[in-house]
A and B are shown apart, each in its own frame.
Chain A
């Protein structure tokens, strides 16, 4: 059987005045039905652009210049805008980072939900409204009838993100792409939204791509992790294994820089240097200038090499499988 989503050698480039920024440069991954993939990286690593590329929502001056995105067997890159529009919101939904900005401030919640239903299904306004109400109940917003008649600014950030999730759930999609959906929220709300979304996806069998810079958030949620750096996936594998035994020096650096409870008082390690500009990437391994393990070999470009059937890494000097990081 086909995987739900198969991305192969995706290239998304931004053509700026100062040169071409290869925001996504040869990204490949697969996602099975109902699976949760954590797409992790710092800002500028290309993780959000990857998400937008799947839905064909990359704004100029950026555009997809190569590769294939097979969704349930059809190529979204070759299909173009009309094909994409019928998938967006229907079979692939997206949740954005800042809930304060994603709902239109001058339209009521019911308008924004009903239009989503009726964009894909020829149903009556009343039926669409009933569905909207149901979706609000599903994400725990009450009283739904009163809330439907409200405007976004009458909601808190967490409530707005719930509304956005309800909109994403309206058509029971096969895949939800969530772009840092909890980053802009308070910590307590973060945890609520996180667990609710997890439950909703698990019960409906929806696959999820969770884009984040926060390893701690995604480690309890994702089945698999893909770590991105400078537009490339540099390590991929089952979440537990990647967290427990990171092979790439960058992944290891990321995990070491997360504070953990049991090591109270211990120094946090940090990755030295900064993410490189996409316009001035180093030759060879993009992480080389910041890597403690780099040597002359790294001046060549490493490729993503499978280590086991489940895991792969893009590094000439990966950490040994036995080097386990300290667990909390």
Chain B
């Protein structure tokens, strides 16, 4: 039995306002968002706020090799809060720069994958027929294989490099967006107003991007938050396995891999702290994504 609805008119908030209002009702999600903004700011500002440039060899002192957290440089007195690696590099600075590369790779690949996925998905839904079934076959085929396998094989064939990692992430991820966009666009496509827009002889492109696309945004945003966390983790994994970014541009994953060899001898900080930075970033995004999924899901709206 349903409780009857109110007979007094309710003030209707704009959707954006409602989403923000509901989002901030969950303190955990707000913490996640704040953390993520903080992480992003650190990544952007790394060259200006990092204690040293970890890749300027002139600033490194081999005497500082593998210092534990809190120890300081013998000469300058500079304190290494998170310790140093085997080359005497300040881990705090290395993490800030690593974060920068990790987020850069993830966000560029996210942007490209969303663009490609959206165009393909909307076109498949709008034109239907053979194009649609072909696209969906390819998407299904690709998604039936684990992302890490596809990325690993691509990079095994292509070799290392930031651009190659980005390419691999785009290839791995576009299918998720294509499927998401297509499934919401196809629901919208069947509605009468699209036929009406066609009768007005609006161009296909206009109908697709002005009418179909806005309706695909909520699920797209949810998938994007999940996928960016996945992309960051995948890039780190690939770099850890030695097929990702090159040593000259180390991301968090590569920093962790560098410290792996020293882990068993108790020099834990080289691996541990980049790992914590990585986890905080991913957890923050997942917390935001979890809340967004609840807020943007029309089925849960009462």
Contact = CB atoms under 8 A, between A and B. Distances in A.
Interface in A34-64: 43-44, 47-49
Q: Which bracket fits the contact residues of A?
A: 10 to 19
B4 A277 contact: yes
Contacts of A187: none
A41 to B, nearest CB: 10
A48 B4 CA distance: 13
Interface residues of B, number: 8
A253 interface: no
A21 B5 CA distance: 11
Contact of B2 (A16, A44, A273): A44
A281 to B, nearest CB: 11
Contacts of B8: 277, 280
A278 B1 contact: no
A274 B4 contact: yes
Nearest to A280: B6
Interface in B1-57: 1-8
A14 interface: yes
Contacts of A278: 3-4
A49 to B, nearest CB: 6
A274 B5 CA distance: 9
Contact of B5 (A14, A16, A23, A277): A277
Majority-rule SS of A interface residues:
loop
Contacts of B1: 23, 43-44, 47-49
Contacts of B4: 43-44, 274-278
Nearest to A18: B6
A107 interface: no
A279 interface: yes
B192 to A, nearest CB: 29
Contacts of A44: 1-4
Contacts of B6: 277, 279-280
Contacts of A273: 7
Contacts of A14: 3
Contacts of A16: 3
Interface in A256-278: 273-278
Contacts of A274: 4, 7
A43 B2 contact: yes
* Of listed A23, A44, A49, residue having the most chain B CB within 10 A: A44
B7 A23 contact: no
A23 to B, nearest CB: 7
Contacts of A275: 4, 7
* Of listed B1, B4, B7, residue having the most chain A CB within 10 A: B1
Contacts of A277: 3-8
A275 B50 CA distance: 65
Interface in B102-138: none
Given A274-B7, A276-B4, A277-B7, 11 more contacts: A16-B3, A21-B3, A43-B4, A44-B2, A44-B4, A48-B1, A49-B1, A278-B3, A278-B4, A280-B6, A280-B8
5 contacts: A43-B1, A44-B2, A44-B3, A277-B3, A279-B3
Interface of A: 14, 16, 21, 23, 43-44, 47-49, 273-280
- In the A-B complex, the 3 residue pairs with the smallest Cβ-Cβ separation, listed nearest first, are A44-B4, A48-B1, A277-B6
